[in-house]
Amino acid sequence: MTFKTISVIGLGYVGLPTAAIFASKGHKVIGVDNNEAIVKIINEGKIHIVEPDLDNLVKSAVRNDKLSATSKPEAADAFIIAVPTPFTRNQKPDLSYLMAAVKSVKAVLKKGDLIVIESTVPVGTSQSVSELLSNQCPDLRFPHQSKTPDIYIAHSPERVLPGKILAELIKNDRVIGDISNICSEKARELYSLLDIKGQCVLTNAATAELVKLSENAFRDVNIAFANELSIVCEKLGINPWETIKLANHHPRVSILQPGPGVGGHCIAIDPWFIIDSSPKTTELMRTARKVNDAMPDYLAKKIISKLSNKSIPIIACLGLSYKADIDDMRQSPAVEVVRILAQSLDTNKKAKILAVEPNIKVLPPELQHIHNLTLTSLEEALTEANIIVLLVDHELFKEIQQNRLRKKQTYDARGIWQFGDLN
Ligand code: SAJ
């Protein structure tokens, strides 16, 4: 077999499920993460993230000796890189984790190895990775130098949806791009070990890079449209959820859902990688980012503007994660709404914010040390608060009985309590 050992570098939301699924198919997998705490947790057969069914998969993979974790790369036949590619303060791609991961592989690289970049990257990155490695390993030939390279490099962007990662890893089609055709064939061979149901579609590296960015930018623009429309609806006194639901009855219309904004480490970031590569021709994508980024402030100000001066505001904010039934709070609009509310009520000594997030035990750093904010249980929040703000459509919140909300001011930013606000 070509791939006796597979290494997955970066054991986060994409890397860990990928490692576990290869291991569950009986392959020897070495997971690499520079966070020693994560390495320890995984070697104990446990997981550090919330993702349905992942805990059992990791537990049995570690118990069967198919998955182990380490903080430094070890020799393998294929290296899948799934490290974060965030953006800088001025919205430029930050490839420092990716390049550090690539350099870390250098020491164990041997002729015939395959490197697959699964991280989302700006156009041109696969070429840069090939060039970087050829500078570091002058004895080996790389794809940008030769049609028959010693090291194969391909880009196969991950497309899995947090919350459904294990199913989508098998079900989704994959786009695989490379700088010389032979590499993507090799990557296809690697993914065939997973018996994936989706198709592997091969193309060049730059196209694969842009395809991934386009998917997320498309979704961002569509959500921005839904958000803008929801504000129009509000001004006109029309229910946005019903409007969108009915518009989507048209066979060629599919409007996404409005909400408190767009969060996570993908859709809120990836459009900037396209904008950065062509700043003068990306007005629509830039505007969509602006519309979605403005939503938390819009919602928080709406709530503040409707506060009554007859009672002390005790606001229960339901949900902090960036979307339903996960624990990920990166770029979360819910966190931002809570932060703005807490800040706005800072001068009212008796006002309180009660944050409810069933998937965490401590508040995220941005919300720690805010004196008028506490993390509480749903029960406590529903009992104590006079204002309820639904920020995330967690299953738990869908089960709230309507009579618990009676006599309270409610704001439903996700449209799960019937249609929109109960008021
Ligand atoms: N959101 C809305 N309205 C909607 C849908 C989403 O406001 O109708 C918000 C969510 O609440 C969340 C944000 O958008 O804050 C992003 O959520 P999401 O579920 O749309 O996407 P992600 O970021 O969890 O995952 C996306 C997916 N990309 C696409 O669907 C095109 C996933 O397939 C990618 O693998 C992932 O980005 C990634 O890693 O790039």
DSSP 203: E
CA of 226 to the centre of ligand 1 (A): 14
Catalytic residue among 200, 233, 266, 317: 266
Residue 308: pLDDT band by 50, 70, 90 thresholds? confident
Tell me the C-alpha distance between 303 and 375, whole Å.
Answer: 20
**pLDDT score at 190:** 97
Token pair recorded at residue 191:
């993914």
**Which is the closest atom of ligand 1 to the Cα of 219?**
31
pLDDT at 422 over 50: no
Tell me the C-alpha distance between 396 and 171, whole Å.
Answer: 27
Tell me the C-alpha distance between 157 and 213, whole Å.
Answer: 9
**pLDDT score at 347:** 84
Residue 187: pLDDT band by 50, 70, 90 thresholds? very high
pLDDT at 276 over 70: yes
Q: Which of 349, 355, 346 is nearest to 388 (CA)?
A: 355
Catalytic residue among 212, 317, 323, 352: 212
Sign of CA dihedral 76, 173, 333, 123: positive
Q: Which of 226, 267, 216 is nearest to 248 (CA)?
A: 226
**% of the chain residues with pLDDT over 90:** 93
266 is catalytic: yes
**pLDDT score at 108:** 96
Q: Which of 83, 166, 216, 320 to mutate to test the pocket of ligand 1 (most atoms within 8 A of CB)?
A: 216
**pLDDT score at 1:** 54
**pLDDT score at 420:** 44
CA of 72 to the centre of ligand 1 (A): 31
**pLDDT score at 181:** 79
Better-predicted residue by pLDDT, 123 or 180: 123
Closest Cα to atom 37 of ligand 1: 266
Q: What are the residues facing 378 on neighbouring strands?
A: none
Q: What average pLDDT does this structure show over 372-398?
A: 96
Q: What average pLDDT does this structure show over 332-355?
A: 94
Average pLDDT of the chain is 95
pLDDT at 394 over 90: yes
**Which is the closest atom of ligand 1 to the Cα of 263?**
15
Tell me the C-alpha distance between 333 and 35, whole Å.
Answer: 27
212 is catalytic: yes
**pLDDT score at 59:** 97
Residue 346: pLDDT band by 50, 70, 90 thresholds? confident
Tell me which residue has tokens 């059992």. 56
Closest Cα to atom 38 of ligand 1: 266
CA of 64 to the centre of ligand 1 (A): 34
* 224-230, long-range: CB < 8 A, 24+ apart: 224/262, 224/287, 224/288, 224/289, 224/291, 224/292, 225/255, 225/256, 225/288, 226/255, 226/256, 226/257, 226/258, 226/259, 227/258, 227/259, 227/261, 227/291, 227/292, 227/295, 228/291, 229/255, 229/258, 230/258
pLDDT at 423 over 60: no
pLDDT at 352 over 80: yes
Q: Which of 14, 120, 161 to mutate to test the pocket of ligand 1 (most atoms within 8 A of CB)?
A: 161
Residue 417: pLDDT band by 50, 70, 90 thresholds? confident
Distance of CA 361 to the CA centre of its chain: 20
Closest Cα to atom 27 of ligand 1: 161
pLDDT at 421 over 50: no
Q: Ligand 1: which residues within 6 Å by Cβ?
A: 120, 158-162, 215-216, 219, 223, 256-257, 259, 262-264, 266-267, 322-323
**pLDDT score at 419:** 42
**% of the chain residues with pLDDT over 70:** 98
Tell me the C-alpha distance between 396 and 28, whole Å.
Answer: 38
Closest Cα to atom 19 of ligand 1: 161
